[in-house]
Amino acid sequence: MPFKSITNLMLVKDFLDIVGGQDAATLVKLCEKNRKGTTDEEISKKMKLRVTEIRTILNKLHYRGIAEYQKTRNPKTGWYNYTWEIKKKRIANLIIEQQNEVLERLAKKKNLETEYSLFDCIKCSERAPFEIAAEYNFICPNCGNSMESANNPKRIKEINSKMKKIEQELEILKKTNE
């Protein structure tokens, strides 16, 4: 089922919360509905927030290349008006880049879990492959407690399910990015 907007994805909402704050996803959705440039004053009225709060969010998004503005001077007052646009492709590209890095780390973790016999310290959660644990006679080098086998097929399944979920979300983002 295709999404009308990438802002409906939880992954995108979480990303925007991190980048622009808790109201960033709402702001992006509002700007997206407008389809043309929107002034910070218009957004402020619709979101019932102060203009300074809206500008703070927009500037955080602008720093990441998500929001762009056109600056025009009001001939009567001499003040500048800023008309903002949201770049959905930029949001998608940033998230795709970020999630590809997460996938890489998960793949390395999965490889470590499947290829090596691992041992964990019960007390400090230090993890070591068999060779290193054996060198220390299965005693943790950090705290001195005993180390126990940590190979668990359940962990590999968890990693696989995380990877699958991320890949599905990436597919949706890639489709909307075209």
pLDDT in tens, the chain (178 residues): 344 677 888 888 999 999 999 999 999 998 888 778 899 899 999 999 999 999 999 999 999 999 999 999 989 999 998 999 999 889 999 999 999 999 999 999 888 888 888 888 888 878 888 888 889 898 888 888 888 888 778 888 999 999 999 998 888 888 776 6
- Answer whether 100's CB lies under 8 Å from 106's CB: no
CA 93-53-24 angle, 5° bins: 25
Total-model pTM: 0.76
Q: Domain 6-86 - what CATH class?
A: mainly alpha
Q: How many other C-beta atoms lie within 10 A of the C-beta of residue 61?
A: 25
Among 60, 56, 59, 13, smallest CA distance to 32 is for 13
Q: Looking at the chain, which residues constitute the CATH 1.10.10.10 domain(s)?
A: 6-86
